[in-house]
Amino acid sequence: MKILKIIFPFIKKYPFLQEKWWHRFAVVIYSISTIAFLAIAIFVSYLIIQERAFNITIKNNLRDFSKSSEESMINTVPLFLKQNYKFGCLENNKITYVSDYTLEKKAFCNPKIENHLEDVADKLIKDQHPEILNSISYQRDRTELVDFLKKTLQEDTEKRYCFIGADINCYSGNIISYRRNFMFYLEGTICALILTYLFSLFSQITYFMGLIYIVYGKKSKTDA
pLDDT at 103 over 80: yes
Confidence tier at 119 by pLDDT (50, 70, 90): confident
pLDDT at 3 over 80: no
Mind listing the pLDDT tens digit for each residue in 133-163?
A: 555 566 777 788 888 888 888 888 889 999 9
3-state class (DSSP) for residue 126: helix
Separation of alpha carbons 16 and 19, rounded Å: 6
pLDDT reported for residue 67: 94
pLDDT at 28 over 50: yes
- Residue 49: other Cβ atoms inside 10 A: 20
pLDDT reported for residue 134: 58
Of 170, 172, 173, 177, the C-alpha closest to 58 is 177
What's the mean pLDDT in 89-115? 91
Strand partners, 204: none
Task: Name 170's Cβ contacts closer than 8 Å, sequence gap at least 6.
Answer: 89, 91, 96, 98, 164
Separation of alpha carbons 122 and 129, rounded Å: 10
pLDDT at 56 over 70: yes
pLDDT reported for residue 77: 94
Q: Any idea what the Cα angle at residue 105 is, between residues 148 and 91, rounded to 5°?
A: 85
pTM for the whole structure: 0.76
Of 10, 33, 4, 56, the C-alpha closest to 209 is 10
Q: What is the percent of the chain where pLDDT is above 70?
A: 92
Confidence tier at 194 by pLDDT (50, 70, 90): very high
Task: Name 52's Cβ contacts closer than 8 Å, sequence gap at least 6.
Answer: 93, 94, 95
Confidence tier at 71 by pLDDT (50, 70, 90): confident
pLDDT reported for residue 19: 84
Task: Judge contact between 154 and 148, C-beta under 8 A.
Answer: no
pLDDT reported for residue 224: 47
Instruction: Report CA 138 to chain centroid distance, whole Å.
Output: 40
